[in-house]
Structure 1
Amino acid sequence: MLELFFSALVTIVPDYLYRRHKQGKRLGHEINLFTVWYELRWGITACAVLAISLLTIIFYFHPTTSNVTSLFRTVSILSDRPGRVEEVYVSDNEFVRAGDAIFRLDTQRQRAAAETARRRIAEVDAAVTVARSELLAAEGNITAAESQLRQAEDELNRRQSLSERNQNVVSEQEIERLRLTVEGLQGTLQASKAQRDAIAGRLDTLLPAQRASAEAALAQAQTEIEKSTVYAGTNGTVRQFKLKPGDLVNPILRPAGILIPEGSGRGRFQAGFGQISAQVLHPGTIVEITCASKPLSVIPMKVIEVQAVIASGQLRPSDQLIDIQDRARPGTILTIIEPLYAGHADHVPPGSRCIGVAYSSHEKAIKAGEISGFSAFLSRIVDGMGIANAIVIRAQSLLLPVKILVFPN
């Protein structure tokens, strides 16, 4: 409206004045409802061209958007495993701090597994004690077998010496019997040593391995018991938390609730501008927004980051070829904006929907000499045209409560 009024002042009004004072044509006589186009055709045409040009320049260098919001993060309250709730420590809408317990799952099975592991450790310890006693017994058997073997060998040697001096003193059957006795005692000694080695191997290798396995099973069971209690990972408020003892919780199908981190979404907004504004938006651009959650207020912001990609162009490989025309939404340029002055957006709840307008500025480029001469003059005019959008957004902030409360959709 402002652009059309300005265009009419420099096009239609001079044309009318020329017709009136130079050609003597009067409004309501020569210039009437039926002849206004013919008489003022040059002014009307120039007005239309100028108005369209002004609107194009203003909306290009000072883009507007109705997609401004303050996104906030939510954390799903999940357990590491499915199970039934045994105890609940907090209630809905309660503020929790990092490390506070939220709820605990039933751990009867894990406690039984831990007790089994403890009994297994005790069993292995008892087996170690028995094995040590068996090792002592095996050592004693080896000592006894060595003594018997030595005695039998001495007896065999003595009999063989007697037989060599006088064959009639010792018979061959007796010497053969003593030889067999020695061989039997040697086998007994070897068996005793093998038994000792087996007991020592079980004591040094098998039983420690069994105890380590039992300790690992106990540690696993204790870990499962500890993981059965779900703790808050950050400070925040618990929402949609209706958990009761006996309820079934599944980390895939049924989360317990939502934790909204403290301060999430505060002081930072996300705005989506049209793709045609990609060359205008850059960090440092001034933006003004007005929100329904804080009516009658215009909040000055500044762009701190411009997303380098457009979300609508992302591609996830699948078993079908993508046809570009199937992507109906063109996507927007995502910009991250923050309040220009601290505290101005503190009373805007996270998730609020707002409208905004960005203002281009060529002041730095002009001062740096990058733009000079007639281009600098035109750039200053373009920057000054932002006042039209500034007036519009202030009018919208005034009319927004009326539109929502009196004329709802």
Structure 2
Amino acid sequence: MLELLFSALVTILPDYLYRRYKQGKRLGHEINLFSVWYELRWGITGCAVLAISLLTVIFYFHPTTNNVTSLFRTVSILSDRPGRVEEVYVSDNQFVRAGEPIFRLDTQRQRAAAETARRRILEVDAAIAVARSEIAAADGAIVATQSQLKQAEDDLRRREDLTDRNQTIVSEQELERLRLTVIGLTGTLAAAEAQRDVVVGRLETLLPAQRDSAEAALRQAETEIEKSTVFAGTDGTVRQFKLKPGDLVNPILRPAGILVPDGSGLGRFQAGFGQISAQVLHPGTIVEITCASKPLTVIPMKVVEVQQAIASGQLRPTDQLIDIQDRARPGTILTVIEPLYEGHADYVPPGSRCIGVAYSSHEKAIAAGEITGFSAFISRIVDGMGIANAIVIRAQALLLPVKVLVFS
């Protein structure tokens, strides 16, 4: 409307004044409802061309958007395993600090597993003590067998010496018996030593491995018990939390609730501008927004980040070929904006929906000498045209409560 009024002032109005005072044509006589187009055709045509040109320039270099919001992060309250709730420590809409417990699952099975592992450790320790006793017994058996073997070898040696001096004193059967006794005791000694090696191997290898396994099972059970208590990972407020003892929680099918981190989304907005504005949006661009959650207020912002990729072009591999015409929405240029002055957006709740307008500026390029002469003059005029959108957004800020409360 402002652009149309301005265009009419410099086109239709001079044309009318020329017809009225130069040609003497009067409104309501020569200039009437039926002859207005013919009489003011130059002014009307010039007004249309100028208004369209002004609107194109203004909305290209000073784009507007109705898609401004402050996105905030949420954290699902999930347990590491499914189970029934045994105890709840917080209530809905309660603020929690990082590390505070939220709820605890039933741990009866895990406690039983931990107790079984502890009993297994005690059992292995008892087996170790028994193995040490068996080693001592095996050592005693080896010593006894060695003494018997030495005595048998001595007897055999004496009998053989006597036989060498006088063959009639010791019979051949006696010598054979002594030789068999020595062979038998030698085998008994080897068996005793082998049995000791078996006990030593069990004591030094098998039982420690069994104890380590039992300790690992105990640690696993204790870890499961610890993981049964769900803690807050960050400072925030618990939302949609209706758990009661006895409820079933499943990390895949049924989360316990949502944790909204403290300060998430506060003072940081995301704005989606049309793709035609891609060349005029850059970090540092000034943006003004007004929100229904903070009416009658225009908040100055600045662009801090421009997303280089447009979300509508995102592709995920599937088992079907993608047809481009199925993507009807063209997508927008996503920009991240923050308050130009600290604290100006603190009272805008995260998730608020706002409208905004961006103002392009060529001042730095002109000061750096990149734009000079007539181009600099035109660039200043283009920058000054942003006042039209500035007036419009202030009018929208004034009319927004009326529109929402009365005409919605």
TM-score (norm 2): 0.99
Per-residue deviation, 1:85: 0.3
Within 1, Cα distance between the matches of 2:69 and 2:148?
97
Residue-pair matches, total: 408
Give the corresponding residue for 1:260: 260
Equivalent AA in structure 2 for residue 70 of structure 1:
S
Per-residue deviation, 1:21: 2.3
Per-residue deviation, 1:23: 2.1
Within 1, Cα distance between the matches of 2:175 and 2:96?
93
Per-residue deviation, 1:22: 2.3
Within 2, Cα distance between the matches of 1:100 and 1:22?
86
Residues 64-117 of structure 1, C-alpha deviation per residue, up to 9 Å, x if partnerless? 000000111111000000000000011111110011010000000000000000
Residues 36-67 of structure 1, C-alpha deviation per residue, up to 9 Å, x if partnerless? 11111111111101100000000000000000
Within 2, Cα distance between the matches of 1:215 and 1:406?
71
SS of the counterpart of 1:399?
helix
CA RMSD, Structure 1 to Structure 2 (Å): 0.7
Give the corresponding residue for 1:389: 389
Within 2, Cα distance between the matches of 1:97 and 1:19?
77
Per-residue deviation, 1:28: 1.2
Equivalences for 1:254-333 in 2 at 5 Å?
A: 254-333=254-333
Per-residue deviation, 1:240: 0.6
Within 2, Cα distance between the matches of 1:213 and 1:377?
82
Per-residue deviation, 1:197: 0.3
Per-residue deviation, 1:161: 1.3
Dislocated runs of 4+, deviation >3 Å: none
Within 2, Cα distance between the matches of 1:236 and 1:113?
35
Within 1, Cα distance between the matches of 2:294 and 2:336?
20
Give the corresponding residue for 2:8: 8
Per-residue deviation, 1:172: 1.1
SS of the counterpart of 2:355?
strand
Give the corresponding residue for 1:231: 231
For structure 2, which runs of at least 5 residues remain unmatched after alignment? none
SS of the counterpart of 1:382?
helix
Per-residue deviation, 1:188: 0.1
SS of the counterpart of 2:126?
helix
1:242 aligns with 2:242: yes
Equivalences for 1:121-140 in 2 at 5 Å?
A: 121-140=121-140
Stretch of structure 1 that moved more, 110-119 or 18-27: 18-27
1:50 aligns with 2:50: yes
SS of the counterpart of 1:288?
strand
Per-residue deviation, 1:193: 0.1
Equivalences for 1:38-187 in 2 at 5 Å?
A: 38-187=38-187
SS of the counterpart of 1:338?
strand
1:196 aligns with 2:206: no
Per-residue deviation, 1:220: 0.4
1:368 aligns with 2:368: yes
Within 2, Cα distance between the matches of 1:373 and 1:27?
44
Give the corresponding residue for 1:216: 216
Per-residue deviation, 1:24: 2.1
For structure 1, which runs of at least 5 residues remain unmatched after alignment? none
SS of the counterpart of 2:298?
strand
Within 2, Cα distance between the matches of 1:82 and 1:60?
55
Within 1, Cα distance between the matches of 2:91 and 2:15?
74
SS of the counterpart of 2:258?
strand
Equivalent AA in structure 2 for residue 22 of structure 1:
K
Per-residue deviation, 1:401: 0.5
SS of the counterpart of 1:298?
strand
TM-score (norm 1): 0.99
Within 2, Cα distance between the matches of 1:108 and 1:86?
10
SS of the counterpart of 1:170?
coil
